[in-house]
């Protein structure tokens, strides 16, 4: 591509502005902004740490191994993003919630698109494994109005600490299902008490965790995706209070508003649902926001961030920051 731009006076100090300039000869303003910030922060990282050639190459080798570990069923780069706290951060920035709504958290790699539709009171567990759990609740908007006909897609690992997709002989979906809320927004689900488990750690990310003296465990949790046309899709998870890893989740998913307590099911509910009194009970209401509320909230957060930056930025048509046009 012919260009009028000339790179000049290359040095440790000027390399950044030169790189940003040559990367900016196109019309995609958002990409221009992302590339400029990426280069700026990468170069500052190298300058601030006085990065050596050996360290830089060790980083390249690590990223190469991470890429080689990826396949159709293994995304080692997402795992790297998870253990570096980036996945939860990006989710929080893209899907902020008002304090009246259920907060989101990271999706993780074990959601599938083949979960079966379930009826009220059905169980998601096909094996007689673990301690039975009854989950009841109501889905509402932020004003407390019930939301009927919404889909609640949930999944969690079994008592062995494994998701169904981690079994080589998997024939059917298990430990997952899609429920529909009733007219009054209510749902009744049978599951089992979740247990803590280790994230995949047989690859480069696992090696990195070991090297920096970190464990690979997640506290016991249940994942949920809640969807209803006109409402912002909620991706979240609920975490069992008191779990050994509640305060050291390998992927930083735990938020205090998502921590639940269990109580024994009790004789009355047990009789109602064909379960045992000593089984577990979880009562949890979810509150979701409309698509409009979600868009307005992201935009107002982005405006706030833009003002704080002190840079000459504007929001583009998607409500995302870009450099202000030069007049």
Report the interface residues with ligand BEZ, using CB under 6 A: 79, 82, 106, 108-110, 199, 218, 251
User: Closest distance between Fe ion and the C-beta of residue 110, in Å?
Assistant: 6
Q: Which is nearer to Fe ion, 104 or 108 (CB)?
A: 108
Crossing angle for the helix pair 53-69 and 76-83, to the nearest 10 degrees:
120
**Residue 294 CA to chain centroid, in angstroms?**
17
How many contiguous H segments (helices) and E segments (strands) does the chain have? Answer: 8, 14
Judged by beta carbon distances under 5 to 8 A according to partner kind, the member of ligand BEZ, Fe ion, none in contact with residue 199 is: ligand BEZ
CA-closest candidate to residue 76, choices 252, 204, 213: 204
User: Closest distance between Fe ion and the C-beta of residue 128, in Å?
Assistant: 22
Q: Which is nearer to Fe ion, 141 or 249 (CB)?
A: 249
Q: Which is nearer to ligand BEZ, 86 or 178 (CB)?
A: 86
User: Closest distance between ligand BEZ and the C-beta of residue 214, in Å?
Assistant: 13
Judged by beta carbon distances under 5 to 8 A according to partner kind, the member of Fe ion, ligand BEZ, none in contact with residue 195 is: none
Q: Which is nearer to ligand BEZ, 152 or 222 (CB)?
A: 222
Judged by beta carbon distances under 5 to 8 A according to partner kind, the member of Fe ion, ligand BEZ, none in contact with residue 91 is: none
Which letter does DSSP use for residue 233 in this model?
P
Is residue 257 a contact partner of residue 239, using CB atoms and an 8 Å limit?
no
Which letter does DSSP use for residue 218 in this model?
E
Judged by beta carbon distances under 5 to 8 A according to partner kind, the member of Fe ion, ligand BEZ, none in contact with residue 260 is: none
Instruction: Provide the sign of the torsion angle of the four alpha carbons 168, 170, 175, 178, taken in this order.
Output: positive
Judged by beta carbon distances under 5 to 8 A according to partner kind, the member of ligand BEZ, Fe ion, none in contact with residue 82 is: ligand BEZ
Question: Which residue has the CB atom at the shortest distance from ligand BEZ?
Answer: 108
Q: Which is nearer to ligand BEZ, 108 or 206 (CB)?
A: 108
User: Closest distance between Fe ion and the C-beta of residue 186, in Å?
Assistant: 25
The upper half-sphere exposure of residue 69, i.e. CA atoms within 13 Å in the direction of its Cβ, equals 21
DSSP string, 165-217: GG-TT--S--SEEEEE--TTSEEEEEEE----EEPP-SSHHHHHHHHTT---E
Binding site for Fe ion (CB under 5 A): 108
User: Closest distance between Fe ion and the C-beta of residue 163, in Å?
Assistant: 7
């Amino acid at each position: 591509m012919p260009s009028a731009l000339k790179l000049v006076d290359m040095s440790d100090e000027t390399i950044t502005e030169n790189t940003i300039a040559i990367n900016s000869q196109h019309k995609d303003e958002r990409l221009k902004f992302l590339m400029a910030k990426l280069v700026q922060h990468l170069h500052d990282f190298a300058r601030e740490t006085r990065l050596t050639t050996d360290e830089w190459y060790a980083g390249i080798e690590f990223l190469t191994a991470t890429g080689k570990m990826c396949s159709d069923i293994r995304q080692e780069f997402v795992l790297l993003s998870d253990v570096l706290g980036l996945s939860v951060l990006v989710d929080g920035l893209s899907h902020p919630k008002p304090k009246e709504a259920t907060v989101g958290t990271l999706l993780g790699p074990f959601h599938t698109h083949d979960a079966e539709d379930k009826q009220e009171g059905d169980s998601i567990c096909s094996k007689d494994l673990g301690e039975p759990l009854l989950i009841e609740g109501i889905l509402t908007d932020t004003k407390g109005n019930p939301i009927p006909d919404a889909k609640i897609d949930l999944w969690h690992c079994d008592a062995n600490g494994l998701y169904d997709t981690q079994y080589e002989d998997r024939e059917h979906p298990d430990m997952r299902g899609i429920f529909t809320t009733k007219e009054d927004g209510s749902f009744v689900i049978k599951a089992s008490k979740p247990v803590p488990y280790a994230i995949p750690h047989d690859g480069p990310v696992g090696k990195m965790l070991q090297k920096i003296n970190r464990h690979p465990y997640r506290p016991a949790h249940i994942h949920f995706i809640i969807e209803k046309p006109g409402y912002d899709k909620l991706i979240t998870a609920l975490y069992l209070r008191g779990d050994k890893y509640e305060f050291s989740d390998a992927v930083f998913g735990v938020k205090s508003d998502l921590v639940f307590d269990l109580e024994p099911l009790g004789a009355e509910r047990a009789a109602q649902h064909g379960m045992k009194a000593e089984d577990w009970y979880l009562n949890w209401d979810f509150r979701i926001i409309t698509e409009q509320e979600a868009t307005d909230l992201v935009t107002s957060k982005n405006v706030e961030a833009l003002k704080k930056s002190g840079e000459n930025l504007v929001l583009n048509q998607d409500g995302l920051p870009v450099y202000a046009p030069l007049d």
